[in-house]
Amino acid sequence: MIYLDNHATTACDPRVVAAMIPFFSEGYGNASSPHGFGQAAAAAVDAAQAQVATLLGGEPEEIVFTSGATESNNLALLGAARRHEQRGGTRRRLVTTAIEHKSVLAPLEHLAELGWDLVYLPIDETGRVRLDQARELITEETLLVSVQAANSEIGTIQPIAELAELAHTRGALMHCDASQAIGKIALGVTQLGVDLLSLSGHKMYGPKGIGALWIRGGGLQLPLIPLMYGGGHAGGLRSGTLPVPLIVGLGVASELAAEQLASENQRTAALRDEFEKHLCEELASIVVNGAREQRLPNNTSLTFTGLDAEALLANLPEVVASTGAACESGSVEPSRVLLAIGLSREHAFSTVRFGLGRFTTAEEMRTAAGLLIAAYWQLALLLA
């Protein structure tokens, strides 16, 4: 089986698993307990905070561990809006794009139902935000701008630094959902200029069920209203007993990502480019979606004109890929991301997303290309 759905999730790196195992059965103390077991667990949490912070170019105290990017996004967006409201703030505009992950759009839409002004930034045919129009839509009434670092379907990388600068000139906060981009491209919070950044462990060869929210200056410097109340963990921002094994796993995954970023970026981009080249030479009807340069190195979104993507994948049992984001699988509607960049419904239904990963080999990509070409022609002949 050739796994090319690394946007949906990644395999847990064996080195991550090895680091986690002792904390399930040996160092299993509660990190909040004062005794030796607890202190050993707390030290492991501190080490993981430092590892995640190093990957982002931030400080350990700026890292709040969550259950994943969905919780991080909700905490950032709802937390900032509710805090502003609690303090009597008058800004009511929230700015995002229509191609964000549902865990960004859903909380923002919830706030819109409560009377907030939700504005969507226009994007071009590659999925990039139109900065000229962003300058008009991000106004002095804006509290928060939330734009993803890179899209999970077409891989397009957004101009986050420019958007953050624009937001700050209007006195607004900048949040970035970086879950698809972390470990794939360099993302330093200082260079990006963001105030809040979300990430998820299982998108970067770490375990599922763990993520983090980076908060500029920490929770005291940029206070948020918590989503949950309890024992006051993480300075009261995220109550609950810390899942030490998962946190250790995220820390090691972050360290590995930092160490291997440049080499993995180069290797996966080369494999992706060769895969696209081979397919486009053999199948003239293929269209590559999204930005060709400003995109994730492991991503390719291909439209197989005239064929149904689900039927194509059904005839390709040896290759694991998808027609869109995992959180929206099973939808009878075409991808909203593809429609937003101008694809017709027919072409959207003919599109497959391929996501390469750390463990993808050159041989697998050559084999996958051959199998795709054979399946394409088999279906094309049936439809002729």
Write out pLDDT tens, residues 100-113: 999 999 999 999 99
- CA distance linking residue 253 with residue 10, whole number of Å: 11
Catalytic (active-site) positions: 327
Lowest mean pLDDT among 78-92, 100-114, 312-326: 312-326
Write out pLDDT tens, residues 147-188: 999 999 999 999 999 999 999 999 999 999 999 999 999 999
Regarding whether 195 and 79 lie in a shared domain, the answer is yes
Regarding whether 292 and 250 lie in a shared domain, the answer is no
Nearest CA to 31 out of 226, 208, 250, 245 is that of: 245
Q: What is the CATH number of the domain that holds 304?
A: 3.90.1150.10
Regarding whether 237 and 153 lie in a shared domain, the answer is yes
Q: What is the pLDDT at residue 267?
A: 98
Q: What is the pLDDT at residue 298?
A: 98
Regarding whether 288 and 215 lie in a shared domain, the answer is no
Q: What is the pLDDT at residue 331?
A: 61
Regarding whether 339 and 219 lie in a shared domain, the answer is no
Q: Which residues pair with 302 in a beta bridge?
A: 288, 352
Neighbours of 220 (CB within 10 A): 10
Looking at every residue in the chain, the average pLDDT score rounds to 95
Q: What is the pLDDT at residue 326?
A: 54
Residue pointed to by tokens 């590559």: 288
Regarding whether 325 and 208 lie in a shared domain, the answer is no
Amino acid type, 154: I
Q: Which residues pair with 301 in a beta bridge?
A: 353
Regarding whether 170 and 133 lie in a shared domain, the answer is yes
Write out pLDDT tens, residues 189-208: 999 999 999 999 999 999 99
Nearest CA to 119 out of 95, 89, 140, 146 is that of: 95
Secondary structure class of 118 (helix, strand, coil): strand
Q: What is the pLDDT at residue 287?
A: 96
Distance from chain centroid for Cα 21: 26
Q: What is the pLDDT at residue 265?
A: 96
| DSSP H/E element including 1 | none
Lowest mean pLDDT among 75-79, 227-231, 293-297, 329-333: 329-333
Write out pLDDT tens, residues 230-258: 887 887 789 899 999 999 999 999 999 99
| DSSP H/E element including 26 | none
Neighbours of 211 (CB within 10 A): 27
More confident residue, 193 or 31: 193
Quickly list DSSP for 271-322: HHHHHHHHHHHH-TTEEE-S-SSSB-TTEEEEEETTS-HHHHHHT-TTEE-B
How large is the average pLDDT for residues 292-306?
96
Confidence grade of residue 354 (pLDDT, cut at 50, 70, 90): very high
Q: How large is the C-alpha radius of gyration of the chain?
A: 21
Q: What is the pLDDT at residue 12?
A: 98
Amino acid type, 192: L
Lowest mean pLDDT among 6-10, 107-111, 282-286: 282-286
Q: In what order do the strands lie in the sheet with 351-355?
A: 286-288, 299-304, 351-355
Quickly list DSSP for 61-117: GGEEEESSHHHHHHHHHHHHHHHHHHTT----EEEEETTS-HHHHHHHHHHHHTT-E
Domain count, the chain: 2
Among candidate residues 206, 222, 256, the one where a domain is terminated: 256
Regarding whether 240 and 284 lie in a shared domain, the answer is no
Say if residue 384's pLDDT is above 80. Answer: no
E strands present in the chain: 2-3, 63-66, 93-97, 117-121, 142-146, 173-177, 196-200, 211-215, 286-288, 299-304, 319-320, 351-355
- CA distance linking residue 47 with residue 352, whole number of Å: 39
Regarding whether 272 and 206 lie in a shared domain, the answer is no
Q: What is the pLDDT at residue 328?
A: 56
Q: Taking the chain, what is the end-to-end CA distance rounded to the nearest angstrom?
A: 30
Q: What is the pLDDT at residue 204?
A: 98
Specify whether the CB–CB gap between 36 and 64 falls below 8 A: no
Q: What is the pLDDT at residue 327?
A: 57
Length in residues, the chain: 384
Percent of the chain residues past pLDDT 70, beyond the cut: 98
Regarding whether 371 and 222 lie in a shared domain, the answer is no
Cβ within 8 Å of residue 291, ≥6 positions away: 126, 127, 128, 154, 155, 156, 157
Regarding whether 276 and 208 lie in a shared domain, the answer is no
- Degrees to nearest 5, angle at CA 373 with 369 and 379: 140
Regarding whether 359 and 228 lie in a shared domain, the answer is no
Look up the domain containing 68 and give its range.
14-256
Q: What is the pLDDT at residue 315?
A: 94
Nearest CA to 144 out of 124, 123, 122, 164 is that of: 164
Among candidate residues 256, 272, 291, the one where a domain is terminated: 256
More confident residue, 36 or 271: 271
Among candidate residues 256, 272, 307, the one where a domain is terminated: 256
**27's tokens:** 């160092």
- CA distance linking residue 91 with residue 81, whole number of Å: 9
- CA distance linking residue 341 with residue 86, whole number of Å: 38
